């Protein structure tokens, strides 16, 4: 009987890996001219830490200092009490140290008005321009020129308010501007948030349907 011939096992053939073609910069240029030896013929790209090649702008030191500043949120009543108490305390210090300088008091009033408008919460933005004049009127009592009892104090207060109404109007205007800017920014943020939420809700069903329709169909096996 003839015995079947045994063929030696063949070595597994390894298929060469297909490598993607190199870009023209790595091949020496698209026109076929190679650069001189020792010099990089490809284009040099600068690596950046942000996608898109844009370098993030450095933050100014003033902005960093403002970010470190405390950022409380006061109610309408809290902003009024803050303005009144702060202006009265600063007026007392002004009367003791600087003999009641109205100019110093006016500059401090502008600063306190700005802080009051910045620290009030968004639900009570309207209360800041109302609380600022009250704080100015209460705080000017220690620096107003008045004598002769209660009536003299009242007359001194009225005279000081009439003579230095410019500081009162300036602080109220600053508080109104800050409150207006904050209100506009808050409304814009809420509108952008609503738009993003609406786009996310509208885009979620379409994305799923697109994924289902773009999925490859299984091939039918024919006998």
pLDDT at site 99: 83
Q: pLDDT truncated to tens, each residue of the chain (223 aa)?
A: 455 555 555 655 555 556 556 655 555 544 444 444 444 444 444 544 444 545 667 767 766 665 666 667 888 899 999 999 999 999 999 888 888 888 899 999 999 999 999 999 988 899 999 999 999 999 888 887 766 677 777 887 888 888 888 999 999 999 999 999 999 999 999 999 999 998 888 876 554 444 444 455 555 555 4
The confidence score (pLDDT) of residue 152 equals: 77
pLDDT confidence of residue 45: 47
Tell me which residue of 85, 91, 81, 82 sits closest to 160, measured CA to CA: 91
For the stretch 112-139, what's the b/e string if a residue is b when 16 or more beta carbons lie within 10 angstroms of its beta carbon? bbbbbbbbbeeebbebbbebbbebbbbb
DSSP 47-87: --SSTTSPPPPPPPHHHHHHHHS----B-HHHHHHHHHHHH
Dihedral, CA atoms, 74, 76, 80, 86, nearest 10 degrees?
10
In the DSSP assignment, the letter for residue 40 is -
Paired residues of 74 in beta bridges = 120
pTM above 0.85? no
Among the listed residues 12, 45, 43, the one whose alpha carbon sits nearest the alpha carbon of residue 26: 43
Burial (CB < 10 A; 0-12, 13-18, 19+), residue 179, is: buried
Mention every residue, 6+ apart, whose C-beta is less than 8 A from residue 217.
none
Q: What is the pLDDT of residue 20?
A: 58
Cα–Cα distance measured from residue 210 to residue 16, given in angstroms and rounded to the nearest whole number: 37
**pLDDT for 90:** 92
- Residue 164: count of CB within 10 angstroms of its CB: 19
pLDDT of 95 reads: 86
């Amino acid at each position: 009987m003839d015995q079947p011939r045994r063929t030696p096992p063949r070595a597994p053939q390894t298929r060469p890996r297909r490598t993607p073609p190199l870009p023209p910069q790595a091949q020496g240029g698209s026109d076929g001219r190679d650069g001189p030896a020792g010099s990089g013929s490809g284009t040099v790209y600068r690596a950046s830490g942000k996608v898109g090649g844009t370098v993030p702008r450095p933050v100014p030191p003033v902005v960093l200092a403002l970010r470190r500043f405390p950022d409380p949120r006061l109610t309408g009543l809290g902003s009024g009490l803050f303005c009144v108490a702060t202006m009265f305390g600063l007026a007392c210090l002004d009367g003791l140290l600087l003999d009641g300088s109205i100019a110093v008091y006016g500059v401090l009033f502008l600063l306190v008005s700005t802080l009051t408008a910045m620290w009030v919460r968004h639900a009570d933005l309207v209360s800041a321009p109302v609380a600022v004049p009250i704080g100015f009127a209460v705080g000017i009592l220690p620096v107003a020129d008045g004598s002769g009892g209660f009536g003299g104090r009242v007359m001194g207060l009225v005279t000081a308010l009439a003579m230095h109404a410019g500081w009162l109007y300036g602080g109220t205007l600053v508080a109104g501007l800050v409150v207006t800017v904050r209100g506009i920014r808050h409304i814009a943020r809420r509108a952008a948030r609503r738009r993003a939420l609406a786009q996310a809700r509208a885009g979620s069903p379409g994305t799923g349907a697109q994924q289902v329709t773009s999925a490859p169909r299984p091939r039918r096996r024919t006998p």
